[in-house]
Structure 1
Amino acid sequence: MSKCKNPCTLESLSLKHEEPNLFHRSEWNTQNHPSLGYVIYRIAVAAVMTAGIIAHMISTKDTLGAKWLIYMTNQGITFLTIHYILYSVIVTLRHFMNTENVRLLDEKFPILYSFSWGLHNAFTTSAFLITLVYWGVLHKYVVENNLIVGVWMNFLNVFLHLINSLSCLLDIFITARPIKFGHWYLAVCFGLYYTTFSLIYWAAGGKGICRSETDCDPYIYPILDWENNAGIAVGTAIGCMLLAVALQGVLYGLYCLRLFIKKKINYSSVNTS
């Protein structure tokens, strides 16, 4: 069974683990084999997230079009959904594997598991970061500029900026996958990538929201205005990456809480049987 260990070790940076069975089952499965219920859960999460992204892309095709891809929110939730899809494939395949393939899989930690775990950590942390920055800083700007109109678009906005994190929070307490504090660098790498992307996009003449053919914002986000407020943009980038490290610590704490709850439940079951 996975345990909370010293979070500040070189081993905590690794994307390998000595217990492959933790990466394809629920914390609450009684066996190492993923249950049918867990397979259904994984497929359902992947399907809902995929449907939400498609719905938002269709709903904004006349206002954003190809610019849909320039926003960190949209890139983050896309990568998060890719993680959910890959995770559902891993769990489903593992559920229907024959005994011989299962034995071979358990002998060595698969590269696919490492890749999936990396996506899991990077975009779970990024989801919480996006949620905090949006509701804490950007939502006021969106409301003041009347950028989201109608019940449907408001629902999709909540999907992008809240349901993303709620799905991750739920998953932390369902999956058996461990969370390492040492994986803070994965979300930071995404932050570095997006900072670089936004800078190159601006330098290449890219624009943000357009109210007419001649009236376009010179930035993707007002807090990343490289043209008029480069200092604020740099401060925002650094601040967000530091926040990502802190959030990785919070997620590690939630993981330890899950293990504590599991231990208490097992202890209670033994003492009442």
Structure 2
Amino acid sequence: MCKNVATVPMKKTMDSAIQKSCKPAMLGRMWQASRRALNLEHSPAHQFACSQWQSSPHPSTPYLVYRWLVFLSVVSIGVASFACQRLPRLYDGPKVELNYMKWFIYFTNWGYLLIALQAGLALAVAHRYRAQKLNSLNLRFAACEEDEIPIPLGRRARTPLLCRAYWLAHVIATDLAFVISLVYWALVHDPKIHEVNALNVLVHGGNSVLMLCELAVTAHPIRAAHALYSAGAGLAYGVFSAFYWAVGGTDRIGLPAIYPALDWNKPGSAFGFVSLCAVVMVFAHALATCVAAARARLAQRLRPRAHSDRLTLPTH
């Protein structure tokens, strides 16, 4: 009888000890899963340099031409947007001297700079793997997506820094383009002030069209968890606009708010506008994720799987 009685508290003690030891293990697994979802590691890395619609693990000539066309077009439009600044045609306020450097305070131009950055990085990635192909023609494993450096067993090669930088810029630029186009035409555009000309349409509409084309052409995936990076960029602009207002900054015509809807003299409406943009950002990233997934599935159905795809490591 005494032995049976003594085992009851001992069993409870063991159960509580097991529960306590399981909690840190569960939290550790959750932390590791979150890190894997948020990291910028992906295999095969050559997907960052190729189109979804090619079978070779190295950038094709048509894709390289496409990358140059995108880069030159984006840079040309950006330079024109900066150089052709002027006061609104219907502006009838006091005379102000146009400050060209205020081009950099607008969220639209932040997004456009990110589009130009991702276009330049994409071109650099394509040329890197193009050069790798030329340097490895006489090697037995020319389709290797890394730098032909032997990888020790049990270890995975990290995604090159250039590819990770391009992926991050691409994700943020895509989400911001969708948000900028929607918010500008729905809330910011005022027909009494803003002209509807070719440059305005290209910057506030062509940006989204271009990033949709990028999603349709490129081969790398879009992860749902990476929405946090875009949200961070949007939050950074919100903080910048508040700081700019606090130090007395004005827009190009001398008003204290960069955008009427982002007037920090009315903090309630400003916070509401930032919150609305955050919600739209989530939907924009969900759209980008769905488009990238549909592109990959469609390409898999329309063309046979390449030999290189069968030999690649899984995404991690």
User: Which range, TM-score by smaller chain?
Assistant: 0.7 to 0.9
Q: Which amino acid aligns with 1:219?
A: A
Q: 1:57 to 1:266 in 2, by over 3 A?
A: same
Moved over 4 A (4+): none
Q: Which amino acid aligns with 2:120?
A: I
Distance in 1 of aligned mates of 2:150 and 2:77: 33
Question: In the alignment, does 2:151 pair up with 1:103?
Answer: no
Q: 1:133 to 1:204 in 2, by over 3 A?
A: same
Which residue number in structure 1 is paired with residue 120 of structure 2? Answer: 85
Distance in 1 of aligned mates of 2:300 and 2:162: 29
Which residue number in structure 2 is paired with residue 144 of structure 1? Answer: 192
Question: In the alignment, does 2:50 pair up with 1:25?
Answer: yes
Distance in 2 of aligned mates of 1:105 and 1:88: 27
Q: TM-score, normalised by structure 2?
A: 0.74
Comparing 26-35 with 59-68, greater Cα deviation is found at 59-68
Which of 247, 253, 256 is equivalent to 2:293?
A: 256
Q: TM-score, normalised by structure 1?
A: 0.85
Distance in 2 of aligned mates of 1:265 and 1:175: 16
Aligned residues of 2:82 and 2:103 also touching (Cα < 8 A): yes
Question: In the alignment, does 2:91 pair up with 1:48?
Answer: no
Aligned residues of 2:224 and 2:286 also touching (Cα < 8 A): yes
The structure whose residues are more often helix, as a share, is 1
CA deviation digits over 1:8-55, x for unaligned, max 9? x62321111121111111101111111011111111101100000001
Shift of 1:64: 4.5
Shift of 1:154: 1.1
Which of 250, 258, 261 is equivalent to 1:223?
A: 261
Shift of 1:133: 0.4
Q: Which amino acid aligns with 1:121?
A: V
Which residue number in structure 2 is paired with residue 213 of structure 1? Answer: none
CA deviation digits over 1:231-266, x for unaligned, max 9? 111011111112111211111111111022112213
SS in structure 1 of the partner of residue 109 of structure 2: helix
Q: Which amino acid aligns with 1:241?
A: A
Percent identical pairs in the alignment equals 29
Distance in 2 of aligned mates of 1:68 and 1:105: 48
Which residue number in structure 2 is paired with residue 3 of structure 1? Answer: none
Which residue number in structure 2 is paired with residue 156 of structure 1? Answer: 199
SS in structure 1 of the partner of residue 300 of structure 2: helix
Q: Which amino acid aligns with 2:303?
A: N
Q: 1:127 to 1:167 in 2, by over 3 A?
A: same
| Structure 1 alignment gaps of length 5 or more | 1-8, 211-215, 268-273
